[in-house]
């Protein structure tokens, strides 16, 4: 079956043919209400992003912000936490931005809403969004063979001719988990490594199992560069970060360390670490930096708050649950009271959360962690960035969601209870551990494939 036919058969979105033909869609991305000129339209978008970037307490309804702030202050006192920044959005408006702790252990420099951190694998949602945006005018076909758009990606048994663009963005390439990340961390070129993937043994045919990737996923940066005639970083800046008003967002090591306020990475024991280069070389997989304000703007845009830039059809495409990821429930086992089925879309996860559908992602490279989680129907959610390897702050996303839904309080941050397990270790130096799932068969039934953890 051709890749395009498979993508349609999956029922990714209603009217998927429109995603593939794309003729009229580009108009809706650029403008909501035409103002006569491209300059006027751009000015309208800038004005809207400036308005959305302000904290608006009047939009607060469901979250107990006094309790949240008090608990985050306690969290920042934990011996494994150095610095932390948190943003909350309710009803499509930023209602809370705050920093806690220090940018560098012992420095006295406080984390603020303007402190820049790394997103790590939360960056994958940017890649999925960017590729889908280019698909709307037909520059990329989500169901087309990946070889047509990223010819440098080579897969076992010539599977680059069978795997689709959507398979790349949803980790359905038939490779073992985190294939060749160790060589990336040793300093080898991602372009060379994408060709070397062909020498590996496939664990399944494309589109039949799920297994998390970084090097293969970053073929998205090649797709975007070829489709736009510029670098991935510049295309994202022009078409996403710039229009959304994300003024602190960058995708290079220099963009992080040259920021006026930036969070230094730390080990679980609060020992400062060096900022290394490898995952900046795969920017679609893990290269974004920003402050918490800009991550909050990204959250608003993903919930439909900036339709001039990201329209609802695009958002439905990238958030659609393409493949089940039962291993995610294993990884989040201490939250199973809330978490039901888990899926992966185009750079995004989705979950059943106490009967509601939520969307998000988490990230981690050595010395940094990140999260984004939201309910598209409520247009509400939470983002967080921190500069140590501890996983403990991850519980705050569930405490916020519980407040949004009016659910009984649970100490998900484990401030008053013994941790259910030790923090996840960081493998080697910069190993991406944002989503260490078991490779799972997609669709109904089927066995689970093996993946290294």
Lowest mean pLDDT among 14-18, 268-272, 362-366, 369-373: 14-18
Confidence of residue 39 (pLDDT cuts 50, 70, 90): low
pLDDT at residue 70, rounded to an integer = 98
Structure tokens of 121?
């694998």
Buried/exposed 392-406: b ≥16 CB within 10 Å, e otherwise: bbbbbbbbbbbbbbe
Closest CA to 362 of 120, 178, 179: 120
Domain count, the chain: 1
pLDDT at residue 19, rounded to an integer = 34
33 class by beta-carbon count within 10 Å (0-12 exposed, 13-18 middle, 19+ buried):
exposed
Taking the C-alpha atoms of 205, 7, 435 and 412 in order, what is their torsion angle to the nearest 10 degrees?
-140
* Contacting residues for 253 by C-beta, under 8 A, at least 6 apart: 275, 277, 280
The answer to whether residue 119 sits within a structural domain is yes
* 47, pLDDT greater than 90: no
* 255, pLDDT greater than 50: yes
The answer to whether residue 447 sits within a structural domain is no
**Mean pLDDT throughout 290-301?**
98
* 36, pLDDT greater than 60: no
pLDDT at residue 49, rounded to an integer = 82
**Mean pLDDT throughout 57-77?**
97
Share of the chain above pLDDT 90, in %: 80
* 66, pLDDT greater than 50: yes
pLDDT at residue 254, rounded to an integer = 98
* 29, pLDDT greater than 70: no
Helices (H), 22-145: 25-30, 38-52, 65-76, 124-135
The answer to whether residue 277 sits within a structural domain is yes
Instruction: Tell me the pLDDT tens digit for each residue of 378-409.
Output: 999 999 999 999 999 999 999 999 999 999 99
Lowest mean pLDDT among 42-46, 177-181, 211-215, 331-335: 42-46
CATH number of the domain where residue 336 is located = 3.40.710.10
* 52, pLDDT greater than 60: yes
Distance between CA atoms of residues 243 and 35, nearest Å: 16
The answer to whether residue 224 sits within a structural domain is yes
Instruction: Tell me the pLDDT tens digit for each residue of 315-357.
Output: 999 999 999 999 999 999 999 999 999 999 999 999 999 999 9
pLDDT at residue 418, rounded to an integer = 73
pLDDT at residue 7, rounded to an integer = 52
* 286, pLDDT greater than 70: yes
pLDDT at residue 396, rounded to an integer = 98
Confidence of residue 37 (pLDDT cuts 50, 70, 90): low
Structure tokens of 432?
């991406």
Confidence of residue 252 (pLDDT cuts 50, 70, 90): very high
The answer to whether residue 382 sits within a structural domain is yes
The answer to whether residue 249 sits within a structural domain is yes
**Mean pLDDT throughout 4-14?**
44
pLDDT at residue 424, rounded to an integer = 45
Looking at the DSSP bridge assignments, the partners of residue 384 are 86, 371
Is residue 386 within 8 Å of residue 83, measured between CB atoms?
yes
Distance between CA atoms of residues 146 and 220, nearest Å: 9
192: three-class secondary structure by DSSP: helix
Q: Please give the mean pLDDT across all residues of the chain.
A: 87
The answer to whether residue 451 sits within a structural domain is no
**Mean pLDDT throughout 15-25?**
36
Numbers of helices and strands, H then E, in the chain: 17, 12
For CA atoms 150, 151, 157, 159, give the dihedral sign.
Answer: positive
Range of the domain at 400: 3-441
pLDDT at residue 101, rounded to an integer = 98
**Mean pLDDT throughout 92-121?**
98
């Amino acid at each position: 079956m051709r890749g395009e036919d498979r993508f349609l058969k999956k029922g990714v979105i209603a009217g998927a043919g429109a995603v593939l033909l794309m003729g009229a869609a580009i108009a809706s991305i650029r403008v909501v209400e035409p103002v006569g000129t491209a300059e006027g339209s751009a000015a309208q978008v800038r004005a809207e992003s400036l308005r959305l970037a302000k904290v608006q307490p009047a939009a607060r309804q469901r979250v107990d912000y006094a309790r949240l702030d008090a608990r985050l202050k306690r969290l920042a006192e934990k011996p494994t936490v150095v610095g932390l920044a948190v943003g909350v959005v309710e009803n499509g408006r930023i209602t809370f931005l705050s920093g806690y702790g220090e940018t560098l252990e012992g420095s006295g420099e406080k984390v603020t809403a303007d402190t820049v951190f790394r997103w790590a694998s939360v960056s994958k949602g940017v890649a999925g969004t960017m590729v889908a945006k280019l698909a709307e005018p037909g520059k990329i076909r989500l169901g087309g063979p990946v070889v047509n758009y990223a010819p440098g990606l080579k897969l076992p048994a010539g599977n680059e001719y069978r795997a689709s663009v959507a398979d790349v963005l949803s980790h359905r390439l038939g490779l073992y988990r985190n294939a060749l990340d160790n060589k990336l961390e040793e300093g080898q070129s991602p372009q060379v490594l994408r060709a070397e993937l062909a020498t590996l043994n496939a664990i399944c045919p494309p589109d039949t199992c799920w297994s998390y990737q970084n090097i293969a996923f970053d073929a998205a940066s090649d797709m975007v560069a070829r489709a736009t005639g510029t670098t991935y970083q510049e295309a994202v800046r022009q078409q996403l970060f710039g229009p959304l008003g994300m003024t602190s967002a960058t995708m290079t090591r220099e963009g992080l360390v040259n920021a006026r306020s930036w969070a230094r990475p730390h080990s679980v024991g609060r020992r400062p670490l060096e900022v290394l280069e490898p995952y900046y070389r795969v920017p679609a997989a893990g290269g974004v930096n920003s402050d918490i304000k800009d991550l909050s703007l990204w959250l608003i845009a993903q919930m439909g708050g900036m339709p001039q830039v990201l329209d609802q059809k695009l958002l439905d495409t990238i958030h659609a649950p393409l493949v089940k990821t039962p291993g995610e429930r294993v990884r989040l086992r201490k939250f199973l009271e809330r978490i039901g089925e888990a899926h992966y879309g185009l750079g995004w996860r989705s979950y059943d959360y106490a009967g509601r559908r939520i969307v998000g992602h988490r990230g981690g490279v050595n010395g940094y962690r990140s999260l984004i989680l939201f309910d598209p129907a409520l247009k509400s959610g939470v983002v967080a960035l921190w500069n140590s390897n501890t996983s403990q702050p991850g519980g705050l996303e569930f405490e916020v969601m519980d407040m949004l839904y009016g659910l009984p309080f649970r100490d998900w941050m484990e401030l008053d209870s013994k941790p259910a397990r030790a923090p996840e270790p960081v493998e080697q130096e910069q190993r991406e551990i944002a989503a260490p799932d078991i490779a799972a068969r997609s669709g109904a039934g089927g066995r689970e494939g093996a993946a290294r953890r």
